[in-house]
Amino acid sequence: MNPAIYFDGKSSRRQRVELRFAATIEIVSPGHPPVSWPYPDIRIVDAPAGTTRLSCTAAEPLARLEFRDAALRREIDRLCPNLTGPGGAQPVSAGRIALWSAAAAAVIVGLIWFGVPLLANEIAEIMPFAWEKPLGDAVDRQTRVFFNGGQCTGPGGVAALNKLVGQLQVAARLPVKPDPIVLTSTIPNAFALPGGRVYILSALLREATGPDELAGVLAHEFGHVSHRDGLRRLIRNGGTGYLVGLLFGDIGGAGAALFAVRSLLNAAYARDDETRADAFAIVTMHRLGRPTAPLGRLLTRIAGAGDQSYSVLSDHPMTSDRAHLLEQPFDGTLGPPLLTAVEWRALKAICDAEPPRTRDGGKTDGLIKNHSDLGLDPDFTHGR
């Protein structure tokens, strides 16, 4: 009697069988007709250590025979001349496995350093704008974690912000509708995500003395949205992060998403991207009949405040050329104010209605006291 386990290749049911050696191997199971496997057609296939697993080229492709008996294995070796022939498993040495693994790792590393960055621009150019929103939504969830979900929702301020953004959208001729959000922070900054999500940090709103200053910053960010700068960077960094996840086993992508968010918020845009966004802001503001000199004055004030860490100037300081470009006189016909005095006061007070909550449920007048609270590196910066 030679007990074994048989899978008929048609279902996943295990059958306890006996093997009989005659002109062929006969697989006998009570209540079933015997199955014959010719010796020359039997092949050995991969199995856990200590288990022998056989297939037969003349049987169902998924039919398998398994046993653990060492004496039975020796008998199979004696009777079956083609165990490692075509259709069976070939022995693979540990050295070959290591070589293949190293080659796969080298390919992934090559894609990380060369392939993804080179393809990012081309992918961003052909990707439909409708596809950007899910990307922006994914990054938005992580962004809110970083800022502890401290969104300002004063009704009057929200209405004023939507009015301001609506005018800018028309003038900027954006292909997507911007979705502005004010988050509580001690950092004077603003940034945009793929899909049109734009964040204004409350410290920047406090620094602004009029609608034209804030509108200039938003017009600059809309330039990044229109030029798809954030999408290209997210493809570069997010794609790289996903490949890193593959390399180290994080195929679920959670680590890759976090990597992409950190990179999007930490890294600076290229200088050419910033110059194009400034030029976009100038064109947009002039279409509304508003000057960009207020934006230049806002950036100059932030630059003169001393500590520029994490500010709108942290990556691209207010150079004399940039100041000259933004502060040049507006020689067109002056349009109406973008907001009334009442609307501007409501926007400035947008965070007053609901003081942000800390993680332990308490109240605070500034969400971010220390960037280590966000789990970010000490040199965390928002690139603008």
Say which residue, 44 or 1, is predicted with more confidence.
44
The predicted pLDDT at position 40 comes to: 94
Split at pLDDT 50, 70, 90, the class of 382 is very low
Residue type, 26: E
Where in the chain does DSSP place strands (E)?
A: 3-7, 15-21, 25-28, 35-37, 42-45, 52-56, 64-67, 179-183, 190-192, 197-201
Strands 64-67 and 3-7: antiparallel
Question: Phi-psi category of 14—alpha, beta or left, where left has phi over 0 and alpha has psi -120 to 50?
Answer: beta
The predicted pLDDT at position 338 comes to: 96
Q: Is the pLDDT of residue 254 over 60?
A: no
Split at pLDDT 50, 70, 90, the class of 316 is low
Split at pLDDT 50, 70, 90, the class of 28 is very high
Q: What is the mean pLDDT of residues 344-357?
A: 77
What is the domain partition of the chain in residue ranges?
Answer: 3-79, 105-374
Cβ atoms within 10 A of the Cβ of 124, count? Answer: 20
Cβ atoms within 10 A of the Cβ of 187, count? Answer: 23
Say which residue, 343 or 379, is predicted with more confidence.
343
Q: Read out DSSP for 197-215?
A: EEEEEHHHHHH--SHHHHH
Helix count (H) and strand count (E) of the chain?
13, 10
Q: What is the mean pLDDT of residues 166-172?
A: 94
Q: Which has the closest alpha carbon to 279: 322, 317, 340?
A: 322
Split at pLDDT 50, 70, 90, the class of 271 is confident
The predicted pLDDT at position 1 comes to: 65
How much of the chain, in percent, has pLDDT values that exceed 90? 35
Question: Phi-psi category of 345—alpha, beta or left, where left has phi over 0 and alpha has psi -120 to 50?
Answer: alpha
The predicted pLDDT at position 53 comes to: 93
Extract the tokens encoding 327: 């502060």
The per-residue pLDDT for range 66-103, each reduced to its tens digit, is: 999 999 999 999 999 999 876 554 455 556 667 767 77
Q: What is the mean pLDDT of residues 145-162?
A: 86
Strands 197-201 and 35-37: unpaired
How much of the chain, in percent, has pLDDT values that exceed 70? 66
> In sequence order, what are the residues at sequence separation of 6 or more whose Cβ sits closer than 8 angstroms to the Cβ of residue 292?
216, 281, 282, 285, 286, 326, 327, 328, 330
Contact yes or no for 334/220 (Cβ under 8 A): no
The per-residue pLDDT for range 29-68, each reduced to its tens digit, is: 888 889 999 999 999 988 888 899 999 999 998 899 999 9
Split at pLDDT 50, 70, 90, the class of 252 is very low
CB-count exposure of residue 12 (10 Å: 0-12, 13-18, 19+): exposed
Which of 177-186, 217-226, 305-314 bottoms out in mean pLDDT, i.e. has the lowest? Answer: 305-314
Q: Average pLDDT of the chain?
A: 76
SS3 content of the chain, % helix, strand, coil (to 5): 50, 10, 40
The predicted pLDDT at position 170 comes to: 93
The predicted pLDDT at position 175 comes to: 78
Q: Which has the closest alpha carbon to 232: 130, 138, 123, 139?
A: 123
The predicted pLDDT at position 168 comes to: 95
Q: What is the mean pLDDT of residues 192-219?
A: 90
The per-residue pLDDT for range 117-151, each reduced to its tens digit, is: 566 666 666 667 676 777 677 677 777 777 765 88
Split at pLDDT 50, 70, 90, the class of 345 is very high
Q: Which has the closest alpha carbon to 269: 298, 232, 243?
A: 232
The per-residue pLDDT for range 90-100, each reduced to its tens digit, is: 455 556 667 76
Which of 180-189, 282-291, 337-346 bottoms out in mean pLDDT, i.e. has the lowest? Answer: 180-189
Split at pLDDT 50, 70, 90, the class of 328 is confident
